Chain A
Amino acid sequence: MAGDRESGPNRASLEAVAERLRAGGRLASGDAAVLAATPDLVALGALADDRRRALRGDRVTFVRVCEIDAVAGGAGQDRLPPRAGEVRLVGRPADIGAAVAETSRLRELAGPVPITGFALDDLVDLCRADAAAVREALGALREAGLARVAEARADAGDDPRWIELAVAEDLPVARLTVASADSDGLANARRIAAWGAAAASVRAFAPLPAVAGPRPSTGYDDLRRVALTRLVVDNIDSIQVDWRLYGPKLAQVALTFGADDVDAVSPIDALEHGWRRTPLEEITRNVSAAARVPIERNGRFEIGTARP
């Protein structure tokens, strides 16, 4: 079964990188480029999967998220889906006052369910990048009931000090996301890795863009990006994939290419199709079928029990 998988110098370098990683070593400079250039997607995925297993075992966490538009608000809404593990305010608020008001309004509705919201770079921007104003805004949001800043965009800036400032204000960032469909996945991963301990408070990195570009990405593009991110980014616990945006099929396969956390599972049980097709059943079945153990978490990354 001799194959055409790859031969010559690139194959040799890939094997050298693989050997080093298997022996517990870290990526050397230049290794990421070798990994990014390999056409052998399965070999890349296997390396990322080994890394994921070493970090997280066979656990895959997921969260059921109820999204509320931070701009339009949820005015008139008097209850939230009872199964949500996170209530998330999405979109750029008009100003910090509006963000605080919307968070306060949700506090009672959400009850014990953690409220997350906003993108850190939007908050920084609304405060004109003034550290004192950002600190004050984060404090006000925390007081209003915000448990986490929902995201910081990995491709929006080079400065991790805002993430550290959020930690100092006891309002850490939940996850890193990628805003632009055409930002370079390897460059994003390298930038985040270079932040070192400054990014360690962030629990998950979702490397696949949150918006589709004019030309949809391919399955190879997506999985290469997930696997590379897992291998390059060693300062963040989890690599996350969005269930709703990327769909069960691609998201499930991503769980075998280095991802171990699933975002944006629906909190609404669509019982009209029978219990086997509820979002909870769908996610647990898919995670189990990928030979992983599904564990539900909430917006604070507090975990429940393993789902059968």
Chain B
Amino acid sequence: MRGELEEIAAHLRGGGRLRAGEALDLYRHAPTHELGRLADAARAAKHPERIVTYIIDRNVNYTNVCVARCNFCAFYRPVGSGDGYVLGFDEIFAKIDETIEVGGVQLLLQGGHNPDLPLAWYEDLFRAVKHRYPTFRLHALSPPEVIHLSRLSQLPVRTVVERLIAAGLDSIPGGGAEILVDRVRRLLNCYGKATAGEWLDVMRAAHEAGLRTTATMMYGTVERPEERIEHLFRLRDLQDETGGFTAFIAWSYQPPHTELGGIEATGVDYLRTLAVARLVLDNFDNLQASWVTQGGKVGQLSLAFGANDMGSVMIEENVVRAAGAAYCMDEVEIVRNIENAGFVPKRRNMHYELLGDPIFRERPVPRMLELAVARTGELDAPPPEIARYPARSRAEKVRRTAR
């Protein structure tokens, strides 16, 4: 391997692009440190100023009711479940207030595919948020949610995207990508929510409509190494075409409490996957560390294996927590980890524009030593505005008649 590794390294140093076979060889055979060195050099070439960014935002899951039933998901509840919830607009406003208090600039808003939330619910919510908080950003609705709304409203994806933008959508998160290979998607029971091509088409439509988006990969389920690599190349191809992705985030599948079960990929696998992603995705400026799935320590080590962004100071998280992981880092901790690794921490927005130095050094902000959850109150009290939208599911119709 050493000779081949030298050849690949020389090819990269000469400005060449990694080929799929080379990426697979690196992933499979390169010593972990060699991968780290190559990825770190690629990171340094894009970010020579040694800045590592992060964003203060809140990951809000507006509903856990979902008809998609992906077998790797511990978060969703079926329609009619007693544990199902939909957040009310007032609850979401309260979360925004708390987010702003700690210096937050956006909501990452994602949720299940709830048949009783029509497109109008999202439009009304987005408008109401923008009316109350005009500069606050909405990074919302991953491609499968957009496809779900397109199917629900029987409107083309492009129209749904345009209507959401008109209502206040600022950018689209790259969730729901899992592995962009249909063989894998069928096995994960997520082919129905979005095929690989459909996921990419939503992103293409969003980019063409002027939105920037992120891209993700959830690895460690049933995919083969070559399918991980294929995923990365599909993203690179679309980025060549549109240039609309701001960042890439890889995270490992979290097996506990899921139908699929199994075991989580290891920390070394995470660092190797991240490093290969940095090398393949030569047209992505930013790679995020996934400390939410890896914990703070391996999350910080990501900065030596190609990442240049510590992701989000997460105030709330529900999806990974549903699968048992509940790592928490507030801004003070994120900044400490960045500086300890020898980098300069800067706050950013979703477009990766620098917003400034750590906010806690400018003014006092409350420490957040625990993640909040979507909902702490009674689960069986649906928000009042839900009645304004027609119910589609049988369970919801029955519930409303019974009241």
Contact of B299 among A41, A219, A282, A286 (CB under 8 A): A219
Task: Tell me the smallest distance from the CB of A258 to a CB of chain B, in Å.
Answer: 11
Return the CB mask of B241-285 against A: 1 if under 8 Å, else 0: 000000000000000000001110011111100000000000000
Nearest residue (CB) in A for B43 is A3
A256 to B268, Cβ gap below 8 A?
yes
Bound complex: CA of A276 vs CA of B268, how far in Å?
19
Residues 1-25 of A contacting B (Cβ, < 8 Å): 1-5
Nearest residue (CB) in B for A218 is B340
Task: Tell me the smallest distance from the CB of B123 to a CB of chain A, in Å.
Answer: 42
A99 contacts the other chain (CB 8 A): no
B36 contacts the other chain (CB 8 A): yes
Q: What bracket does the count of chain B residues touching chain A fall in?
A: 35 or more
Task: Tell me the smallest distance from the CB of A191 to a CB of chain B, in Å.
Answer: 24
Contact of B297 among A4, A43, A250, A291 (CB under 8 A): A250
* The stretch of B44-52, B92-100, B153-161, B205-213 that contacts the partner chain: B44-52
B37 contacts the other chain (CB 8 A): yes
Task: Tell me the smallest distance from the CB of A237 to a CB of chain B, in Å.
Answer: 22
Residues 323-359 of B contacting A (Cβ, < 8 Å): 336-337, 340-342
Contact residues in A for B261 (Cβ distance below 8 Å): 274
B45 to A285, Cβ gap below 8 A?
no
Contact residues in B for A217 (Cβ distance below 8 Å): 297
Bound complex: CA of A100 vs CA of B265, how far in Å?
44
B267 to A252, Cβ gap below 8 A?
yes
Residues 222-236 of A contacting B (Cβ, < 8 Å): 222-223
Bound complex: CA of A247 vs CA of B301, how far in Å?
15
A80 contacts the other chain (CB 8 A): no
Given the known interface contacts A219-B296, A249-B294, the answer about A39 and B342 at a Cβ–Cβ threshold of 8 Å is yes
B300 contacts the other chain (CB 8 A): yes
Task: Tell me the smallest distance from the CB of A152 to a CB of chain B, in Å.
Answer: 27
Contact residues in A for B32 (Cβ distance below 8 Å): 256, 290-291
Given the known interface contacts A219-B297, A221-B340, the answer about A43 and B37 at a Cβ–Cβ threshold of 8 Å is yes
Contact residues in B for A39 (Cβ distance below 8 Å): 341-342
Bound complex: CA of A189 vs CA of B352, how far in Å?
42
A289 to B266, Cβ gap below 8 A?
yes
B48 to A4, Cβ gap below 8 A?
yes
Interface residue SS majority, chain B: helix
B398 contacts the other chain (CB 8 A): no
Contact residues in B for A2 (Cβ distance below 8 Å): 41, 44-45
B392 contacts the other chain (CB 8 A): no
A91 contacts the other chain (CB 8 A): no
Contact residues in B for A133 (Cβ distance below 8 Å): none
Bound complex: CA of A180 vs CA of B301, how far in Å?
24
B125 contacts the other chain (CB 8 A): no
Contact residues in B for A220 (Cβ distance below 8 Å): 300-301, 304, 340-341
Contact of A1 among B12, B49, B266 (CB under 8 A): B12
A71 contacts the other chain (CB 8 A): no
B266 to A285, Cβ gap below 8 A?
yes
B84 contacts the other chain (CB 8 A): no
A49 contacts the other chain (CB 8 A): yes
Contact of B268 among A3, A43, A218, A289 (CB under 8 A): A289
Contact of A218 among B47, B262, B297 (CB under 8 A): B297
Contact of B48 among A3, A46, A286 (CB under 8 A): A3
Task: Tell me the smallest distance from the CB of B334 to a CB of chain A, in Å.
Answer: 11
Bound complex: CA of A219 vs CA of B294, how far in Å?
11
Give the one of B32, B34, B340, B341 with max A CB within 10 A. Answer: B32
Return the CB mask of A242-255 against B: 1 if under 8 Å, else 0: 00000111101101
B37 to A46, Cβ gap below 8 A?
yes
B271 to A253, Cβ gap below 8 A?
yes
A45 contacts the other chain (CB 8 A): yes
A32 contacts the other chain (CB 8 A): no
Contact residues in A for B178 (Cβ distance below 8 Å): none
B33 contacts the other chain (CB 8 A): yes
B301 to A219, Cβ gap below 8 A?
yes
A277 contacts the other chain (CB 8 A): yes
Bound complex: CA of A274 vs CA of B48, how far in Å?
47
B13 contacts the other chain (CB 8 A): yes
B177 contacts the other chain (CB 8 A): no
Extra contacts, 13 of them, besides A41-B341, A222-B297, A253-B301 (Cβ < 8 A), are A1-B44, A3-B44, A4-B48, A39-B342, A41-B301, A42-B33, A46-B33, A46-B37, A49-B31, A247-B297, A256-B32, A289-B268, A291-B31
29 of the cross-chain contacts (CB-CB < 8 Å) are A1-B13, A1-B44, A2-B45, A3-B40, A4-B44, A4-B48, A4-B49, A5-B40, A43-B37, A45-B33, A46-B37, A216-B296, A218-B297, A218-B341, A219-B297, A219-B301, A220-B340, A247-B295, A247-B297, A249-B270, A249-B297, A253-B271, A256-B32, A256-B268, A282-B263, A285-B266, A286-B266, A290-B268, A291-B32
B residues near A (Cβ < 8 Å) are 12-13, 31-34, 36-38, 40-45, 47-50, 261-263, 266-271, 294-301, 304-305, 336-337, 340-342
- Identify the 6 closest CB pairs spanning chains A and B, nearest first: A3-B44, A219-B297, A249-B267, A39-B342, A46-B33, A42-B36
